[in-house]
Every structure is written in structure tokens, then in C-alpha cells.
Structure 1
Amino acid sequence: MSVRTIPESQHLDLLASRESASFLQTPAWGRVKSEWRRESLGWFRDEELVGAALVLYRQLPRLKRYLAYLPEGPVIDWETDELDQWLAPMTAHLKSQGAFGVRMGPPVVTRRWSAAQVKDGIADPAVRRLDDLAPTERDTVGARVVSQLDELGWRRQVAEGGFAAGQPQYVFQVPLTADGAPRSEDDVLKGMNQLWRRNIKKAAKLGVEVTSSGGTEDLKAFHDLYVHTAQRDHFTPRPLAYFQTMADALSAESPDRIRLWFARHEGDLVASTIAIRVGTHAWYSYGASSTEKREVRGSNAIQWAMLRDALAAGARVYDLRGITDTLDPDDSHAGLIQFKVGTGGEAVEYAGEWDLPLNRPLYAAFDLYMRRR
């Protein structure tokens, strides 16, 4: 096995040969993260391209040394019993590029919990976190990856509640297939809880109209509502320029990669979202909603439209992205998981992010800096 830099076109060809991969592993995402140096890596066996990765390099101040970051990657054979054959040539290459450490997020699932389990856990005063519930599934591939990374000296990055500086360890997903066959719209709708179904029906009755656009001409309308949402919910919004770069980069790579969605009631914008799709995996990436007219249920209407679109496109998973692992109804994050659990999907735990120090003094200084932040 050998690893070397490849052209973006070759990187895209490898991704196209797979059922799906994270959008954070597409060459376009490197252009979104313009403050990082980017590189497309390829794994070769007998000159056959068998794996790929987007690597983002973040430089240390005043030093030409880098943290090499592979968000939700690399795209390799994670089912192998010999993971070191894939990772050793990667780390050797990254070290030759000046990396003092490597951070990656293996795209492998470790555990799943059903919507019914999560709902019961929130109602049970003895349950406070997903860990307090026996999962409906423990993934053997994920367990084997975690075991091998431990043996190889990689360090698990543990973050309170499953959120870190990188990507969330816990997400909420709606499976769009059952026993290998696509689910029908009716089946997905029946899987939702009664409140979601009632809200979708109410939005339609009140005349909420949902539209979508593959272009960026309506991006400011989304962003204005997103800033309003940020002020209401007390988080720091990203600037319009970030979303412009994101939309331009992803849409240039593939016309079906990114879509904007808008829910309007009597001409008023009540909800707006950004959806991303790579192969058979569809993501709800960003969302915004108005404080006014919440009773028309624009957020439910827009999610249902996005779900239907994902089904029509042949997606196998609709991913509502990050949740924390809390099931405490008094926790400020509980409302997020309660909203998402209404879709009838499942809570999913990934292997999380892992670090490998390549230069221990520099990595220790970097780790101390991040902890103090």
C-alpha cells in the first residue's frame, strides 16, 4: 500500500465509485475551509486507487508545522483487520508534509438507539444520557476499528456531550430503506410521532409553501433568517460570505450537491434550510426559523419536503446531524433531540475523532493550548 497526492478529479472519481462518503471528504470542502491548506490523498495497491481523503492542514503560529485533519475520513476500507496497513503510509506521508499530529474521524458507527428508546429515556428520571440505555445495535466493525486504533497508539478525543471542536460524535438519522428496499413516503410518515404528523398536516392546511433552489441567488434570504435565529437562540452565526463560498464550491463540484429550502406563509419566510447530498447520504446541514408565525409549523413542513426529496433522489439515509448524548429534560440541549426524535429515526454514535501525535513536544503544546481555549 502506498499513499501520495492525487488530482482532485481522481479524488472525485474514487468517491463516485462508492455508495457515499461524507461531504466533508469532498475536494470542494477544502475550498470551503480556505483558512486551511488542502490536499487530496490517494491510497494505491499495485497502482490501483483504493482509497482517498481530503486532508486539511492548520499551521501553528510562526512555525511551518501543521495539524493534519481528516474530517469524517479517510475514505478507506474500515472493515479490515489490518488497519495499520492503511494508516501507517498515511501518517508517514503527513509527517513528510510537516504535520506534528494527525486528527481524523473514522466514518464508522459504533452504536444505535431507536426513537422509541430515546423517547422513553427522556421520560425516565433514572436516565440522563444515551449511555444509560442499552443500544438496539452494537456495530462490530465500529468496535473493531476502536480496538485497533487503541492498539496503534491513537488517542480518542473525548468531548462533553459528544460535541468537540471538530465534528459531532452523536447524530440523528432517518433510515430511508428497510430490509434493503426503499421505504415509501407513507411508511416514513407513519414512522414519525403523532405531533410531527399533526404539524405537517397543519402546515399544509394553513397554506405553508415549501420551495427549493439549487442556486445561490436566495442565499441572503436564508442568511437573514439564520442571523435572526442565532440572536434568539444565543449562538454566533457564520457570515454570509462563508455560505456563499460553501454554496459556490459544492454546487460547482456537482449540481445536486447542495440545495436551499424555503418555507413561506402568505409571503413571509418562516423557515429556511441548507441540504447536502453525496451519493445515497442526504444531510440537513443548517436551519433557520422565524420567531413569528411558529404556529404555522414551517420547520416541520420544510423537513418533510427535504425528506421526500431525499427519498426521490434514492438516498438511503436522511441525516439531521449533531445531537448531544443528553436525555435530561432539564438540559438546554434536550429540545434539540426531542425535535429530531419526532422524525422516528434513530440516534447514532460514531467512533468519534482520534489524534496521533507525530512530534510529541509540539503536539503537547498544541493540546495544552486547545484545553485552555
Structure 2
Amino acid sequence: MLPAFYERCLQTAERNGFPPSSLRHFSVLFSAPAQHSEYPGILFLLAAKGRDVLAGIMIAVSGRQAMCLCGASASEGRHLMGSYAIHWEAVKLVRERGCLTYDMGSVSPGADPRHPFYGMYRFKTGFGGNIRHRSGTWDYPLSRSRYSAFRNYEASGMKFSE
């Protein structure tokens, strides 16, 4: 079902104006090394009506914390609110697993409709909870020369092969 989820990721990215990740980016979460017990558990949930996948999410569970790594929804059938259903199921599922927190991920800094993440802000604040602003994701290179080569490659706009 990963290709169906990925198609929803492409639709979500296009709809919200951000660049999509590659299919490989998601499939590596389910590769053999990622299934090793020292890694957090990855949950993959889909909401569907019949054969139509409406929405999906990937959640990392580590100890008593859960974090939504990626969420996506189909452009058609959004009125069926698959994203709401899937996140509610996720909340119940991670609570059953003993999690005390469920981080739904990025939102805009405030309720500004002009911000590109405002739709996510509106959606996620509808569940209640608290907004926690963090400094974002940071890279910690282990090899400066390899990291520099990677950043140059990434900045060139070239795509990694699948």
C-alpha cells in the first residue's frame, strides 16, 4: 500500500506548495535495518472508503512518545475527512501502546492564513492539545567532507536515483 500512500503524498505536496520527498524516502522506513529492535516502531495507517485510499500517516513510536512523520490525503474525497479519522485512530492506538504524547508535527507559527502551513495549523489545533515551537531539524555531520559533498549535491537540484 506504500505506492498508494505515496500518491497521496504527491497530491498533498502539490496542494500545499511544498516539494515532495521521494518514494525511497518512505520505503527505507520499512527496510530490514529499520525493523531492528533498537529502532523505534513505525506505524503505517490508511483510511479508505472501499478501494479508495483517502488518507494515510506514518508514525514513529519510541518509548512513551509517538510522532507523526508524515501525513497525506487524497485531493478527491476530502469531504469524507479521512485525515481526521486516521489521526483519531492513531491517538487511540499509541495510547494503547503506552504513549503519553502524540506529536502531530509541523504547524505554522500562528493562526496566519497567509502562512503555507496554516492549513495544517487549523487541522491539528482542531484536536486540542498544546503547540510546542521547536528550533526545527538539524544535521549533525559525522564527516565534514562527505556532508559538504552531500549538501552541494542536494543544492544542485539533482535527484537521487530510486
Q: Fold match, TM over 0.5? A: yes
CA distances 1:293-352 after superposition (whole Å, capped 9, x unpaired): 111110100000000001100101000112231332333332221111111110113366
In the alignment, the residues of structure 2 paired with residue 255 and residue 290 of structure 1 have an alpha-carbon distance, to the nearest angstrom, of 30
Aligned counterpart in structure 1 of residue 45 of structure 2, from 256, 261, 266: 261
Matched residue SS, 1:321: coil
In the alignment, the residues of structure 2 paired with residue 328 and residue 227 of structure 1 have an alpha-carbon distance, to the nearest angstrom, of 24
- Percent identity over the alignment is 28
In the alignment, the residues of structure 1 paired with residue 114 and residue 19 of structure 2 have an alpha-carbon distance, to the nearest angstrom, of 23
Aligned counterpart in structure 2 of residue 239 of structure 1, from 14, 17, 22: 22
In the alignment, the residues of structure 1 paired with residue 5 and residue 70 of structure 2 have an alpha-carbon distance, to the nearest angstrom, of 10
Do residues 229 (structure 1) and 12 (structure 2) align? Answer: yes
Matched residue SS, 1:347: coil
In the alignment, the residues of structure 2 paired with residue 258 and residue 353 of structure 1 have an alpha-carbon distance, to the nearest angstrom, of 19
In the alignment, the residues of structure 1 paired with residue 104 and residue 34 of structure 2 have an alpha-carbon distance, to the nearest angstrom, of 19
In the alignment, the residues of structure 2 paired with residue 224 and residue 313 of structure 1 have an alpha-carbon distance, to the nearest angstrom, of 29
Amino acid at match of 1:333: F
Distance 1:350 1:235, change over 3 A: closer
Do residues 219 (structure 1) and 12 (structure 2) align? Answer: no
CA distances 1:233-266 after superposition (whole Å, capped 9, x unpaired): 2222111122111222332335861011110012
Q: Which residue in 1 is equivalent to 2:88?
A: 304
Greater relative contact order structure (CA < 8 Å, 6+ sep): 1
Aligned pair count? 143
In the alignment, the residues of structure 1 paired with residue 113 and residue 11 of structure 2 have an alpha-carbon distance, to the nearest angstrom, of 25
4+ long deviations beyond 4 Å: 351-355
Q: Which residue in 1 is equivalent to 2:160?
A: none
Q: Which residue in 2 is equivalent to 1:341?
A: 125
Q: Which residue in 2 is equivalent to 1:288?
A: 72
Structure 1 gaps of 5+ residues are 1-217, 356-361
Structure 2 gaps of 5+ residues are 156-162
Amino acid at match of 2:100: R
Distance 1:332 1:228, change over 3 A: closer
**Equivalences for residues 1-373 of structure 1 within 5 A:** 218-248=1-31, 249-253=33-37, 257-350=41-134
Amino acid at match of 2:111: L
Say whether the 8 Å CA contact 2:41–2:60 is kept in structure 1: yes
The structure with the greater share of residues assigned to strand is: 1
In the alignment, the residues of structure 2 paired with residue 310 and residue 325 of structure 1 have an alpha-carbon distance, to the nearest angstrom, of 26
Say whether the 8 Å CA contact 1:326–1:333 is kept in structure 2: no
Q: CA deviation at 1:287?
A: 1.0
Q: TM-score, normalised by structure 1?
A: 0.35
Q: CA deviation at 1:354?
A: 8.3
